[in-house]
Amino acid sequence: MLHRIIGTGLLLVRASSALIHPAYVKPYLKTNKNDFNDAEAICEADSRPTMCYVHAKTIEQQDIPLLHRIRQRLVQQRTILVNQLRGQLLEHGVAISAKYSG
């Protein structure tokens, strides 16, 4: 997550950043996961001439999943509310179809 923040910050000041996807670094990781071994694997991967780099996400690209999560939460809350209302009405003898077209 920190790499995205730093990469986005560099984009804002018009500096260039080269990010290496973790899947491209994994083959160069030798042993246990710690900072030293991670840094060594990143340096090894970066030294390869055919290394593929990924671009840092813009702020707009980072906001899209946020909007999807907010919408999903709203849909869940709506479903909960409709089911509670149906349950209360059913206790009073009013039956409503489970289909919701809203």
Classified as helix, coil or strand, 54 is strand
Q: What's the whole-model pTM score?
A: 0.53
Name the DSSP class of 48: S
Q: What is the pLDDT of residues 10-53, one digit of tens each?
A: 656 665 667 888 888 888 888 888 888 888 888 888 888 888 88
Cβ–Cβ < 8 Å for 24, 13: no
